[in-house]
Amino acid sequence: MFTGLIEETGQIKNIKYEQNSAYITIKAQKVLDGIKIGDSISINGACQTVISFSSNEFTVFASKETLSVSTFSEFINGKIVNLERALRLCDRIDGHIVSGHIDGIAAIEKIDKFSQNVEIYFNTEKKLLNQIVRKGSVTIDGISLTVAEVTDTNFKVVVIPHTFENTNLHTLKTGDRVNLETDIIAKYIEKYLSSNHNSSSIDMNLLERNGFL
């Protein structure tokens, strides 16, 4: 489990693609503190297991499943990625509960920069938009963000300067693809409502009618 609060950005040093898998080595600093083989680290929102490390880098093995549902298959040397170590039970959860299991990919539709914040619009497939609600939480490349708006075709987040500057968001541009994880609570609610009310579409009115708000 993770919180979606990025500890640092790392840089991909080397990728070795094999049949349906890949070995990825990433240069880092903070997340290496106290690291051991077998630890979980979120890389752009995807939970990966450390298989080796040194004083300034670590390596993970990305499976066929990871490559098929995430942007890992598009990684290149030098790419900046978001990193977070697994949550400890003694920590405060300042973001939201993030599993590190990518649900799909979203594409950046538009980026509007203002003096105090940045608004980013994403489009993704309908089944994932059904699990995203206004004022709810969403994870973009491992970053816990609050949804400002959601429509039938896209959703918007408003990013504060600290988050924009201290994650990989400042390196992204229109058309770039990112890893998306919807709120785990939304998934359980959708499952409950679809099985009991023959509906897979979640909105604020539906949640309120069924006692979730």
- Rounded average pLDDT over 41-65: 97
Per-residue confidence at 9, pLDDT binned at 50, 70, 90? Answer: very high
- pLDDT value at residue 37: 96
Confidence at 82, pLDDT banded by 50, 70, 90: very high
Per residue in 153-194, pLDDT tens?
A: 999 999 999 999 999 999 999 999 999 999 888 888 877 777
pLDDT > 90? residue 206? no
Q: What is the pLDDT of residues 93-117, one digit of tens each?
A: 777 888 999 999 999 999 999 888 9
Q: What token pair was written down for 36?
A: 């051991």
Average pLDDT, the chain: 91
Residue 6 has pLDDT above 90, yes or no: yes
| DSSP string computed for 53-90 | E-SSEEEEEE-HHHHHHSSGGG--TT-EEEEEEPPPTT
pLDDT recorded at residue 95: 75
- Percent with pLDDT over 90 in the chain: 76
**Percent of residues, the chain, with pLDDT higher than 70:** 92
The domains found in the chain, sorted by start residue, are 8-85 (2.40.30.20), 104-209 (2.40.30.20)
> Count of alpha carbons within 13 Å of 87, Cβ hemisphere only?
17
What value, to the nearest 5°, has the Cα angle with vertex 8 and ends 174 and 10? 70
Instruction: Name the nearest CA neighbour of 179 among 85, 67, 90.
Output: 67
